[in-house]
Amino acid sequence: MLTDNVVIAHRGASGYAPEHTFSSFDKSHYDMHADYIEIDVQMTLDGEIIVMHDETTDRTANLPGVIKNMTLKEIESLDVGKWFNEKFPEMYQEAYDGQKVPTLRALIERYGKANYYIETKAPDIYPGMEERLLQILNEYQLLTPERLKNKQTVIQSFSLESLIKVNQINKDLPLLLLAKKGVLRQMTDEDLKKIHQFVYAVGPNIKDLDAPLIERMHQIGFLVFPYTLNDEVLMEQLINEGIDGGFTNYPDLLRKQFRKDDSEVFE
């Protein structure tokens, strides 16, 4: 099931390999059997959806650049693996040097009918991003009634407006609302119940989470998948307090904490 003890590989197994690269996704998907591949998406100047966290290239490509002003060809020339080897020499692997930014299409072509947790990142600076994203997912048969019922393709965002747009395009798509510290606490039960009419889960910041907040979200009807759950002590504590799953850079460790074995791999 994808509603219980859910392991969402945050940017792949990004604690072990450069985030948002095939090396990171291969590890989380094939080696660690995470339930979901988690990605952030951005859009290039020529309208291609790419898989990347930042709106700029500085951090992971070590070159100045703004994605929305760059063409796909320019993005494809970037090396987004080298920084990881330099920053984490203890995890150095030759193959990480030269890793490329995947397009959404290339990602889907590589992992096929895997389960995807897709974040519309900075949707306000990419007008039309939701339409483009859903068009591609549809093209690859990732929006079939069966997959949506099983929550195998999920859209997540910090932007409620972006989730509303997605819901207007496809009312059956499972949605998760990400929430920065304090956001859920400031919302009334009435507001949250309205959101729950089309959003099945919330993704609170781990720094904001405690048993009463988890209980309150469950009372309203949400599943609770916090980000980013990397510390084993905290994993154990929050599991005991009732979380339903979580985003993690270490899918192997979260699987272990949930005591999942390979018979529980959801294909």
- As annotated, the active-site residues are 10, 53
Considering only 7, 10, 17, 116, the residue that binds ligand G3P (CB under 6 A) is 10
**With binding defined as CB under 5 A, does residue 19 bind Ca ion?**
no
Asked, as a colleague might, if the bond just before 228 is cis with ω within 30 of 0, I would say: yes
Q: Which is nearer to ligand G3P, 95 or 160 (CB)?
A: 160
Q: Which of 62, 72, 59 is nearest to 11 (CA)?
A: 59
Considering only 19, 35, 119, 244, the residue that binds Ca ion (CB under 5 A) is 119
**With contact defined as beta carbons under 8 Å apart, do 53 and 67 qualify?**
no
**With binding defined as CB under 5 A, does residue 40 bind Ca ion?**
yes
Which of ligand G3P, Ca ion, none does 227 bind, CB closer than 5 to 8 A by kind?
A: ligand G3P
Q: How far is the CB of 228 from ligand G3P (least distance, A)?
A: 6
Pairing of strands 175-179, 153-157: parallel
**With binding defined as CB under 6 A, does residue 249 bind ligand G3P?**
no
Q: Which of 264, 206, 203, 261 is nearest to 233 (CA)?
A: 206
Which of Ca ion, ligand G3P, none does 203 bind, CB closer than 5 to 8 A by kind?
A: ligand G3P
| Size of the residue set binding Ca ion (CB under 5 A) | 2
From the centroid of its chain, how far is CA 143? 17
Considering only 3, 26, 53, 213, the residue that binds ligand G3P (CB under 6 A) is 53
Q: How far apart are CA 243 and CA 6, in angstroms?
A: 9
Looking at residues 66 to 125 of the shown chain, list those that interact with ligand G3P (rule: CB under 6 A): 119
Q: How far is the CB of 86 from Ca ion (least distance, A)?
A: 23
From the centroid of its chain, how far is CA 163? 14
Considering only 203, 245, 246, 251, the residue that binds ligand G3P (CB under 6 A) is 203
- Coil, helix or strand for 155? strand
Query: Which residues have CB under 8 Å from 263's CB, separation 6+?
Result: none
Q: How far apart are CA 153 and CA 174, in angstroms?
A: 7
* Helix, strand, coil distribution of the chain in percent, nearest 5: 45, 15, 40
Stretch that binds Ca ion, among 114-122, 195-203, 217-225, 230-238 (CB under 5 A): 114-122
Q: Would you tell me which residues interact with Ca ion (CB under 5 A)?
A: 40, 119
- Give the binding site for ligand G3P (CB under 6 A): 10, 38, 40, 53, 119, 156, 178, 203, 227-228, 247
